[in-house]
Amino acid sequence: MITDKINISKFLSLVLRHKPETIDLELDENGWADADLLIQGMLKANYLIDIEILKDIVKSSDKQRFKFNDDFSKIRANQGHSINVDLKLEQKLPPEMLFHGTALRNLDSIKQSGLLKQNRHHVHLSSDSETARKVGMRYGKPIVLKIESGKMNEDGIEFYLSENGVWLTENVDAKYIIFQE
């Protein structure tokens, strides 16, 4: 049985954001999963989990990736899905500047094409450079890009703010990116 909470959390991300079928789980149209069925599926997949461990992972996650409904009967990921769900996000006015962390090796491609959502619903942006740097570190030697989100918004590009504070937008054209090397 896998008991390490970090590995359990990573598997939870996989299931709730990308591949619920891994444990024969179905998400509703808004990304919610039945918490009991999730726990049963994870136990069958050799993850030692119960509702208290699940609550602890949700509460203690530094990235606040997951959320319960009010009675803890359902759970979902806050953002980052590669599967089709409607998180019912409301359009928000972004700050003038946002940040995106990535690996240095991606810089040439970003200069050509901008930031693309790839297989996710949105491009993820941070409100501070330190968070963006930490994100970039996951992919290699990090670089932080400044995004002129205020100008983007003035040009009619929509922004959303997820429940865990991640700014989301469709794509970011290279003309809105300040490249500092």
Residues 62-76 have a mean pLDDT of 93
- The answer to whether residue 26 scores a pLDDT higher than 80 is yes
What is d(CA 66, CA 136) in angstroms, rounded to the nearest whole number?
A: 21
**C-alpha radius of gyration, the chain, whole number:** 17
- The answer to whether residue 166 scores a pLDDT higher than 80 is yes
- The answer to whether residue 181 scores a pLDDT higher than 60 is no
What is d(CA 146, CA 17) in angstroms, rounded to the nearest whole number?
A: 27
- The answer to whether residue 170 scores a pLDDT higher than 70 is yes
CATH number attached to the domain at 98-178: 3.20.170.30
- The answer to whether residue 86 scores a pLDDT higher than 80 is yes
Contact predicate 61/12, CB 8 Å: no
Q: Of all residues in the chain, what percent carry a pLDDT higher than 90?
A: 80
Residues 1-17 have a mean pLDDT of 94
H helix intervals, the chain = 5-13, 35-44, 51-60, 107-113, 129-137, 149-154
Residue-level length of the chain: 181
- The answer to whether residue 137 scores a pLDDT higher than 80 is yes
Highest averaged pLDDT of the listed ranges 119-123, 140-144, 151-155: 151-155
- Angle at CA of residue 81, ends 79 and 56, nearest 5°: 55
Q: Which residues 6+ apart lie within 8 Å of 36 measured at CB?
A: 51, 73
Q: Where in the chain is the domain with CATH 3.20.170.30?
A: 98-178
- The answer to whether residue 19 scores a pLDDT higher than 90 is yes
Q: Where in the chain is the domain with CATH 1.10.10.970?
A: 5-77
CATH number attached to the domain at 5-77: 1.10.10.970
Q: Counting Cβ atoms within 10 Å, is residue 130 exposed (0-12), middle (13-18) or buried (19+)?
A: exposed
pLDDT per position as a tens digit, 36-59: 999 999 999 999 999 999 999 999
**DSSP three-state, residue 131:** helix
- The pTM of the full predicted model, rounded to 2 decimals, is 0.80
pLDDT per position as a tens digit, 106-117: 999 999 999 999
